[in-house]
Amino acid sequence: MSARRSVARMAALGAVPLALSMAGAAPAAAHGSMTDPVSRVSACFAEGPENPRSAACKAMVKTGGTQPLYDWNEVNIPDAAGRHKQIIPDGKLCSAGRAKYKGLDLPRKDWPASEMAAGEHAFSYKSTAPHKGSFELYITRPGYDPSEPLKWSDLESEPFAKVKDPRLVGGEYKFKGEVPKRSGRHLIYSVWQRSDSPEAFYACSDVTFAGGKGAAGPERKAASADGPAAPDDSQIEAGAARSTVEHGGRGNPSAGEHSAHGSDVSTRAGRSSHNAPGTRSAGQADRLAETGDDGTTTDIALAGAGVLVIGAALMCLSARRRDLGRRGSS
C-alpha cells in the first residue's frame, strides 16, 4: 500500500469516531414547567415526591413512581415541530403521550388547583434551560368534566394567550394573557415550542374560577395561600440530585436507580434517556432525538470531520509530490 493511501485511510478512520464522540458530547437538558398557574407535575414535586400530601399526587406516584416528579421539567416531545394535536393522542395530553408521565393523565376532580379569574393574568414558567420559542395557552371549554380523560376537543381550538420569546426574569419566563370567563374547575394547557429545535414541552395546570376580576402575581398568590405551591429554588436544587436529566448543569445523569415506588428510569453512557420517549411520534423510528441541542454540537462534529478530511487530502498531495520527486531524481 502506498504512503498516501495509508495516510488517507488513517485519517478517514480517525474522522468517524471523532465525529461520533463530538455528536454525543452535549448532555441532554430538561427545560421547565408552568408555575403560575402551577402545573400538576410541579405541584406534586413541590409537595414532595416521596410523601406527597394530596390524594391526586399520591395516585400519580402510585401509577408511575416518584421519578417523574424528580424529572418534573422534561414533559416533552423531542421532534414535535408544532404537530402537537397530530402526535399526542386524546387522554394523554398531560403526559404528552409518554408512558413515564402517565400518572399526570389520571382523570380526577381533586388535582391541586390554582385560583383563577377572568381578565389579565401574569403567567410564569420556570425554566431550567432557557431557549427561544413560543408559548401557547389553551383553556378548557365551558362544561369541561375533569372526571373524564382530557381530549383535544375539551380545549378551545385557539389559544387565549400566545407569546414569542417572553422575558426571562429570575429563571422564569414572564408574560401576560387575557383569561376568558369561566366558572368552577377548569384546566389550562400550555405548549412551549422551541424555535431553535423541533422540541416542545407541555403542562397541565388545574384552576378554579370563583368569578370576578383576578389579581396577577404575588397579590393573587397571597389571597390563595392554601392553594398548590410551585417548587422553590431550594427544592429544585435538592431534587436535582435524584433527577435523571440535566437541571442547568446541576443534574445527575448517572442517577439511574429505581425509587422506592418504582420508576422507568434508564441511562446510557452516563446520559439521560429522556430524549427517547416511550411513545415516539411518526417518523421517529428508533433514533434518539437531539434534545436540548440547538444543532451546534452536530455542526462542530461535522466541522471536525471536515478538517480531518482536508488534512488527509493535503497529506496525500504532499506524499504524491514526494513520490513524483523521487521518480524524477531517479
- Convert the pLDDT of each residue in 236-257 to its tens digit: 999 988 998 765 533 343 333 3
For residue 129, what pLDDT is reported? 80
The set of cell numbers assigned to 311 is: 488534512
**pLDDT of residue 203 exceeding 80:** yes
Give the Cα separation of 75 and 102 in Å (integer): 11
The mean of the pLDDT values for the chain is 74
Which residues lie closer than 8 Å to 234 by C-beta, 6 or more apart?
none
**pLDDT of residue 209 exceeding 80:** yes
CA dihedral in degrees (235, 236, 242, 248; nearest 10)?
-160
For the chain, state the CA radius of gyration: 25
Banded model confidence at residue 319, pLDDT cuts 50, 70, 90? low
**pLDDT of residue 224 exceeding 70:** no
For residue 255, what pLDDT is reported? 36
User: How far is it between the farthest Cα atoms of the chain?
Assistant: 99
- Convert the pLDDT of each residue in 189-202 to its tens digit: 999 999 999 999 99
For residue 244, what pLDDT is reported? 86
